[in-house]
Structure formats: C-alpha cells, structure tokens
A and B are shown apart, each in its own frame.
Chain A
Amino acid sequence: MIDDAITRHVARLARLGLTEDEVVRMQHELSAILEYVDQVQGLELADIVPTTHAIPLSNVLREDVPTPSVSAELALREGPNVTADGFTVPRMG
C-alpha cells in the first residue's frame, strides 16, 4: 500500500500540484496499479532476463555524419518566452 507520504513525494518528483482530495485518490489508484503489477512477484522468474525492450533487437546505430539542423528561428518559434539568444526561463531556486 502506498502511503500518504510516498504519494506526496512522487507528486513532488513529477512536479504535480495535487489537491488534498487528489492526494487521497492518487494514493488509492497508485496502490491498485502496484498491487496489480505485484502479481508478477508470485511467479518463478529467477531464470528470466529482464526485458528492456519489446522487440528483440540490438545495435540500432547510425553513422557519425551530420544531418541538417533546424534554424534557430524555427527552433524557437513555439517557445512561450524567447529572446534572440534562446528560450528564456525563470531563475532557478
């Protein structure tokens, strides 16, 4: 069971501002999800290599050859707060 403190911690890590009602709801929903996934723990898995990818592929690499970048103008176009030098962000704590 996920307790209140863990719920608030996870919300903080995800930068989510939850209301008190939402904390309670999330606590129950997260617990339900984890309990569901927890069923896997009951299986005999000692010899199974953890899956890191759904498709059994490896070595998908690309050559170290430059491809065109987008223009600075285009890169910055959708930014909510930009100057000619880049994306502007508020001061960090």
Chain B
Amino acid sequence: MSDVQWEAVIGIEIHAQLLTATKMFCGCALSFGDPANTHTCPVCLAHPGALPVVNAEAIRLALIAGHALGCEIPERSVFSRKNYFYPDLPKAYQISQFDEPICGPGRFRFLTEDGEKFLGITRAHLEEDAAKLNHFGGEGRRADALGSVVDFNRGGTPLLEIVTEPELHNGTDAAAFLKQLRQTLVHLGITDGSMEQGSMRADANISIRPMGVTTLGTKTELKNMNSFTFLERGIAAEIERQIGIVESGGTVTQETLHYEPTTGHITSLRSKEEAHDYRYFPEPDLVPVVPDRGWVDEIRAALPELPVDRRDRWMREYGLTFEDAEVLSEPAALGDYFEQVAAVAPPKSAANWVRGDLRAFLRERGQEPWESDVPPAAVAQIISMVEAREISMPSAKQVLAHVVEHGGDPKEVVASLGLGAIQDESALIAIVDALIAANPEQAAQLRDGKDKLVGFFVGQAMKATQGRADPGRIGELVRERVAAS
C-alpha cells in the first residue's frame, strides 16, 4: 500500500439523437418501434451509387446546440468517413466528422450543490447512427448469440456527438453535468433525451494519476451508460478498480469496458490490440457545409433562456435552494407554472406549494400542474391568504384540495367551507383558557419550563377549531395565559 492520493480525470462523450423528421442523409422518416426495415431506402441501405444529401434541419439543431454549449462555430465543416466493418453499418463506413466538426471548442456551465461549475467542450459533430442488431439464440446477448438480425430503421438517424475535455474528477459532477446537458438539449428541442430508449447515450473516458501530476494516465472507456445513477456509480467503480490495480503494482490497460448496473461488475468489451483503426478521410460524396454567418447569428439571438440561467436566476432573485430550483425546472412547463405563481405570491412559498401539495394533490388524479384546471392565480391567492393570516396553513391545504377537486375561486371556497381563520382575539383566548383549565397537569409542567408542551396545546387548539386558528398566534397566547394563570 502507498500513501499516494489519486486524482481521477474524466471526460464524457454524449450521443444525442436529433429531433428531425427524417434521417441524416436521406428522406426516410425516423421511427421508433415500427416494424423492422420499413424505413429504408437505397441511401441508408448503402446500395451502390446512392448518394447522401445532408439534412438542413440537423445542421440547424447542431448550431443551436453549439450556441448552448458555448462553442465556436467554425466557418466551414466537413464530413468524413470512419471506416470499420460491422453488420450494423452497411457501407462499411460511418459518415461522421473528424477534423472539421460543425461546432468547435466551447465551455458549458452547470450547477451543482457546491455551486456553479464549468466543463470545457472539445467539439460537437454530426454523424449517422448505426442500424439495430437483434441477437438471437443464447441469452439474447451478443456474446452467446447464434447470430443477429439487422433492422435498418435506425440506421442513418442523425446524431450529435458532444465530446468534453477531460476536466471532471468524480462521478457525481459527471452526473450533474449530464443532467444539465440533457435538460438543455431537451429544452431547446434538439433531442427527446430519453436515456432508456437510447436516444441519449453517454460514454466516460477515465484515468487516474497521483494528485499534483499534470500528465494523463492510461484511460479506459466505460460504454453506454443509460442513466445518471449508473454513470455516477460506474465511474466510481472504475476509479476504484484502477486505483486497486495500480496500488497492487499493476498497470491499467487501455480498453473498452462495460459496467453492469445490477451487479456493479466491470467487464472488458475489447482491448487496445483490437482497437479500431478508422482511417478517417473526407467524405467525397458530400461537399463542405459553410453556415451563413447571418444565420448563425440569428440562431444565437433566438436562443431562449437556458435552464441553467433560469435556475441560477431563481436561486439568486427568488432565494430558492439548489434542490427547489432543480425540481421546479424539470420539465420546463412546471417552471413556467411556478413562475406564474411566483409573479404574484412570495417565490419561496410558491416553490413549496407548487412542488409540494399542489403536485401531490394533482398526482392523485394523474395530472400535472401545467395540464390541470388549477390556474396559477388560484395557488397564488391561497398563498396570499395564508400570508395575510386570513386562513391557517391546514385550512389552506383544505382549500387547495377543494380547488383541485371541484375548481372554484379560493376566496369563495374559504367562505363556503367556513375555513376563514378565527381572527377574533377574545375567541382565541377563550379557547386557550378552556384548554389550560382542562389540562392542568400539562399546564403546570409548561409553567415549570417544559416548553415543548406548547406544541401539545397548539395541537389541541387546532383540533378544537378544525384548523382555523393561526398556530403561531395560539402558541404565543398559550405562553401568555399559562404564565398568567
């Protein structure tokens, strides 16, 4: 064993399927779950002589993503062939980009519980997805299959591959980054971001080095993690594995790995000896893309507020916690709803009500706030009544439940259900005095300094008034009257 402190160095590669109507280089419609091989043509089946043509919408989406990632947009970009043989790749090369990607270096800001962080973006480039292989025989896995059936529906789907700098140091930050990136891309309509369906996939390049060293160690690549939790856990497991190897005198081998989330095991997919030699060269069937600068600027100007800026604004201007802001920002429609409530009511209360009781009450009915009949103004009004001490907190919840169930104006609901707070001070005093008289033992203990008994009396008073008393005021009165009795 050594006393060396290890630092992990992590870079992420993300593949996101673009929300276009058609494939990257042909007019076949994108589909998910349609019968196999019903969305193909000579181009995506790689018939000799068929020529690819670039989808303009894929370029537009890539440029939007580039701006959101803080990337430079180079004057021109070129497609290249990445050569390898595999049955899911009918041309025996994937049209991708190599030395002239659509988006150049950038910097992406993301929020964590420890504050904002930045991650360098190396590049983002366009490419086509491979076809889907369905293995048969054995357990349905590649390793023990008898063979595979190729479905070309997915082949040629436009992908944006985003490559980050190796600047992350743990799985937690990697997951926070990926979460925020996904939220951003989904918000901008670039991808649907479904990790379960594979429309967003992440690989992590991981190496370790002694703390203080600036050169990079041998990296391994952890493939295709399809959830934030798996990414975080997989990275942690791989860092631990590498430290174990090095501390026991071994060396890390450059290889591609698979993290099995159910067992936590890491297995090798292929080692460096088998690593691909892709022989990239410019795709002669496609001419360069030179985005019009006016168009590039137009897209930048039309960029809406990014989720990171929105959350940051809520935390700064509304005083929301990191967690409040994170929960309320997803999906964007919930954030819109919250903002409408917060425009009228105190934002912190708005946050609590929207993410708390409102969402809980609506979920029982299988609804979400933004698709419900409960207008943000009604929630704001309930909050205002609580603030003005016109109704107690328990009554407010009753009013909200009623509005969710039956609709109606909160003020009228308060009146019709008789939920208005008991404002009459003498009535409250009478209630408190009666409780003190009925519970002499508790009153004596409270007088002797057992202060938590205030809660007992408040509870009794709330029960006696069916929640229509202001618990804060009752507490004050209990102390006063006990001391005076």
Contact = CB atoms under 8 A, between A and B. Distances in A.
Interface string B280-295: 0010101111100000
A80 interface: no
Contact of A62 (B55, B76, B87, B150): B55
B41 A69 contact: yes
Contacts of A55: 287
A59 B36 contact: no
A1 B58 CA distance: 43
Interface string B229-268: 0000000000000000000000000000000000000000
B29 A13 contact: no
Interface string A53-79: 111011111111111011110011000
Interface in B41-83: 41-42, 45, 53-59, 76, 78, 83
Interface stretch (A26-34, A37-45, A85-93): A85-93
Given A64-B21, A76-B37, A92-B87, A85 B147 contact: no
A61 to B, nearest CB: 4
B296 interface: no
Contacts of B21: 64-66
B399 to A, nearest CB: 49
B191 interface: no
B37 A58 contact: no
A8 to B, nearest CB: 13
Contacts of A65: 21-22, 27
B287 A69 contact: no
A62 B27 contact: yes
B86 A92 contact: yes
Nearest to A72: B37
A19 interface: no
Contacts of A91: 135, 137, 142, 145-148
Counting chain B residues whose Cβ lies within 8 A of the other chain, the interface size class is 35 or more
A90 B14 CA distance: 30
B344 to A, nearest CB: 41
Contact of A64 (B22, B133, B288): B22
Nearest to A73: B37
A69 B36 contact: no
A50 B38 CA distance: 40
Given A70-B40, A70-B41, A85 B289 contact: no
Contacts of A60: 53-54, 286-287
Majority SS of interface residues in chain B?
loop
Contact of B151 (A63, A70, A85, A92): A85
Contact of A61 (B28, B56, B148, B282): B56
B349 to A, nearest CB: 45
Contacts of A90: 147
A83 B149 CA distance: 8
The residue in A61, A63, A69, A83 that gathers the most chain B C-beta atoms within 10 A of its C-beta is A69
A67 B55 contact: no
B31 to A, nearest CB: 9
A59 B151 CA distance: 31
B85 interface: yes
Nearest to A54: B284
B35 interface: yes
B152 A75 contact: yes
A83 B37 CA distance: 11
Nearest to B59: A61
Nearest to B274: A93
B134 A69 contact: no
Max count, chain A CB within 10 A of own CB: residue among B38, B83, B86: B38
The 6 closest A-B pairs by CB, nearest first: A67-B27, A64-B57, A61-B56, A52-B282, A66-B29, A89-B87
19 contacts: A52-B287, A58-B76, A62-B53, A63-B56, A65-B27, A66-B29, A67-B22, A72-B36, A72-B40, A75-B37, A75-B152, A87-B152, A88-B150, A89-B147, A89-B150, A91-B142, A91-B146, A92-B142, A92-B148
Interface of A: 9, 13, 15, 50, 52-55, 57-67, 69-72, 75-76, 83, 85-92
Given A69-B41, A87-B152, 19 more contacts: A9-B277, A13-B279, A52-B287, A52-B288, A53-B287, A58-B287, A58-B289, A60-B53, A60-B54, A62-B53, A64-B20, A64-B57, A65-B27, A67-B28, A70-B40, A85-B134, A89-B87, A91-B142, A92-B87
